[in-house]
Amino acid sequence: MTLERILEVIKNKHPDADTTMLELAYEFAERAHQGQKRLSGEDYIQHALETAFKLATTDIDMPTVIAGMLHDVPEDTGVKLEEIKKEFGGEIADLVSGITKLGTIKYRGLKRYAENLRKMFVAMAEDVRVIFIKFADRIHNLKTLYALKPVKQQRIAKETLEIYAPIAHRLGMGELQGELEDLAFPYVYSEEYKWVVEVSKKKYEEHKRDVRREIKRLRKEFENVSFVPMDMYGRAKRYYSLYQKLLRKDMDIDRIYDLVAIRIIVKNVDECYRVLGVLHSLYKPMSGRVKDYIAQPKPNGYRSLHTTVYSDNRIVEFQIRTREMDDEAEWGIAAHWAFKETGTKKQKMPVDPEKLKWIKTLLERDNEQYKPEEYLDKIKMDFFKNRIFVFTPKADVIDLPEGSIPID
């Protein structure tokens, strides 16, 4: 990874972006990590670059990318946080401080584990961007797990599946969740991973061919009704997500209809429903497989229209959404820190406080002073395991832990 590649990603999306401070941060981190090597044999600066690159691909704000570049400096070098504050300002120093305080979540006894979990939620409550940096850091660490001993590989991969990926899901960050899960999957369930890859290989290719044919057909059909979508492409299901679905479908891959779904991106909500109407005039929809997550978003904020249809003895799933919905589905709450061009001024989207309410709930639970094992059980039950979703008379969606009763 190089600084030039990161700058290219940023400039492609924001040609007028001022990257001066990011370039200074790279020089600062390179000096601080001079001579340091990772167990993989790479220069340590590569980890800083990879972390910053992953953040840049999410279109996150510049302070977060800069903090990603600097995130290991206070912990792994002789440079103090005060120097970062002096060079780069309080906002970036606070983000780096959040990562430093967070440390690494490790399975070293229940008490230590619970305390580190609490640290994570405290850091997220103070500035949720800290967890974005942690995700980017973790993704590169997973990519270099091969350099570690098997016991450590297992621990890091397991905590990724049990903690990091579920938090990414709760924040609506589907792209990062999927990447975390797929990188950890072969280390936690190695035999299952090999089986899923093998059994799905031929099916993926078949579905991809079908999708290409359907997209070609659809372009002509849309032209006939004078409609041009912003984008239309196939999206393959990730391996760990496929594995989880296979567990619910008796491991029968022929019952998986969204192995490669067709995603249609349009300009606005009205066009979402217009496209749905066109699809249902062309194909026979499968009963019970039309889902309106625009009218009733998922509790993590996910919005889209889904429909599964029959096409020439094949079954195809479509996902219809606006560009904004697509960004939120991929990057979740991180999309609210993305720079939006408004003339020459850059603005950030406001974050709905309701989307962070669950973090505050965790902190309130922290104050109840559970024993470590009780705290972990509560966390897993309330936020990392099965949920119950109920509708109020006003059509709001309420998210409750499994086992809840009507009075809840």
Which residues carry out catalysis? 75-76
Q: What whole-number distance in Å separates Cα of residue 253 and Cα of residue 207?
A: 12
Residue showing tokens 């006003």? 394
SS3 106: coil
Residues 6+ apart with CB under 8 A from 9: 53, 56, 57
User: Which tokens hold the place of 359?
Assistant: 């973090």
SS3 266: strand
* Cβ 16 vs Cβ 344: under 8 Å: yes
Q: What whole-number distance in Å separates Cα of residue 198 and Cα of residue 301?
A: 34
Q: What whole-number distance in Å separates Cα of residue 279 and Cα of residue 277?
A: 5
Give one DSSP letter per residue of 152-211, joined into a string: HHHHHHHHIIIIIHHHHHHTT-HHHHHHHHHHHHHHHSHHHHHHHHHHHHHHHHHHHHHH
Residues 6+ apart with CB under 8 A from 309: 279, 280, 283, 284, 285, 286, 315, 316, 318
Distances, alpha carbon 231 to alpha carbons 178, 219, 266, 326, in Å? 22, 10, 7, 11
- Per DSSP, the chain holds a count of helices (H) and strands (E) of 18, 10
* Cβ 294 vs Cβ 305: under 8 Å: yes
